[in-house]
């Protein structure tokens, strides 16, 4: 396992995709700071630096999906996995070493983003306004969700031998989870009462009536559960600081990690390599 990790990190340091990810993270952090600073100067807006710290999490699922599908996809296309097996490495060690590399790379990307926001953002926008314990709680949930994302996309990349198909499925899944989360939010945000207008004696009269599209309690519970399970839904709730079940989110993420990693190891051990 140690040899696999050493080889993986050596390859990572030489990989152009890794440096593109690093440059993208730095660029995104600087772009967010610039746009928010411009708004603060132009419109006198109050910028919360802790909100900037959380914002990257909404798109990091897409970023991880692209990185994993291309980085691990090469393992099949250049025969790297077959070579590792032929020289005696166990399949479980190959799978876990790839997962560990992806997890560490994804977490480092977010930590780099946080470092830039902290170093530049706090002097520009002021100190963090929420309790540090609350911020750490939110960031902790984000880190665990990143691990869940990593396990999900590693599973896909290790199950599919074709790099192009892996990339298409992973990216479509990333956007699909985001769309699913937004649909659930839309249902949960449906107003119970809506304004209805009618003419009475030549005058327009407005009254509140029950919204026929207002979801039942069962439907709302289902949508909230889907939001909590969905990594993208978790991230949107964390960024909005609106998660009613914040303490439960890490459990769902750990469930995703365990489910996809254990299933991936079993299936990878049975997979025929061409």
Sign of CA dihedral 161, 167, 169, 173: positive
Residue 197: pLDDT band with limits 50, 70, 90 = low
Residue 201: pLDDT band with limits 50, 70, 90 = low
Number of structural domains (the chain) is 1
**Mean pLDDT of all residues in 243-270:** 95
Kindly report the average pLDDT of the chain as a whole number.
91
**Mean pLDDT of all residues in 9-35:** 94
DSSP state of 94: H
Is 173 within a domain?
yes
Q: 34-43, 74-83, 99-108 — which is least confidently predicted? A: 74-83
Is 201 within a domain?
no
Quick one: what percent of the chain has pLDDT higher than 90? 70
CB 72 within 8 A of CB 106: no
Is 121 within a domain?
yes
Is 37 within a domain?
yes
Residue 273: pLDDT band with limits 50, 70, 90 = confident
Rounded Cα distance, 5 and 97, in Å: 6
Range of the structural domain that residue 111 is part of: 2-181+238-270
Q: Which residues pair with 195 in a beta bridge?
A: 208
- Residues 205-220: pLDDT tens digits? 667 778 888 899 999 9
Q: Is the pLDDT of residue 251 over 80?
A: yes
More confident residue, 68 or 199: 68
Residues 6+ apart with CB under 8 A from 136: none
Is 233 within a domain?
no
Is 205 within a domain?
no
DSSP assignment of 24-41 equals HHHHHHHHHHHHHHHHHH
Rounded Cα distance, 5 and 32, in Å: 34
User: Cα dihedral angle (53, 55, 57, 60), rounded to 10 degrees?
Assistant: -110
Is 221 within a domain?
no
pLDDT at site 194: 80
Is 225 within a domain?
no
């Amino acid at each position: 396992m140690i040899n696999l990790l050493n080889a993986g990190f050596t390859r990572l340091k030489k990989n152009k995709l890794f440096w593109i990810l690093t440059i993208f993270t730095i660029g995104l952090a600087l772009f967010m700071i610039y746009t928010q600073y411009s708004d603060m100067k132009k419109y006198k807006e109050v910028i919360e630096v802790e909100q900037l710290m959380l914002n990257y999490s909404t798109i990091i699922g897409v970023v991880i999906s692209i990185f994993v599908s291309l980085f691990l996809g090469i393992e099949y296309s250049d025969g790297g996995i077959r070579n590792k097996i032929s020289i005696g490495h166990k399949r479980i060690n190959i799978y876990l070493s790839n997962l560990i590399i992806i997890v560490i790379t994804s977490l480092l990307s977010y930590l780099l983003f946080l470092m830039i926001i902290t170093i530049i953002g706090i002097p520009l926008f002021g100190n963090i306004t929420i309790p540090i314990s609350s911020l750490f709680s939110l960031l902790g949930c984000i880190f665990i969700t990143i691990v869940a994302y990593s396990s999900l996309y590693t599973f896909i990349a290790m199950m599919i031998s074709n790099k192009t198909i892996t990339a298409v499925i992973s990216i479509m899944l990333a956007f699909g989870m985001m769309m699913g989360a937004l649909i659930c939010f839309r249902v949960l945000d449906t107003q119970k009462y809506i304004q209805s207008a009618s003419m009475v004696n030549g005058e327009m009269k407005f009254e509140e009536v029950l919204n026929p599209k207002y979801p039942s309690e069962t439907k709302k519970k289902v949508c909230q559960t889907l939001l909590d399970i969905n990594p993208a839904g978790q991230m949107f709730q964390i960024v909005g600081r609106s998660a009613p079940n914040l303490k439960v989110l890490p459990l769902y993420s750990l469930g995703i990690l365990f489910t996809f990693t254990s299933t991936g190891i079993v299936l990878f051990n049975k997979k025929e390599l061409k």
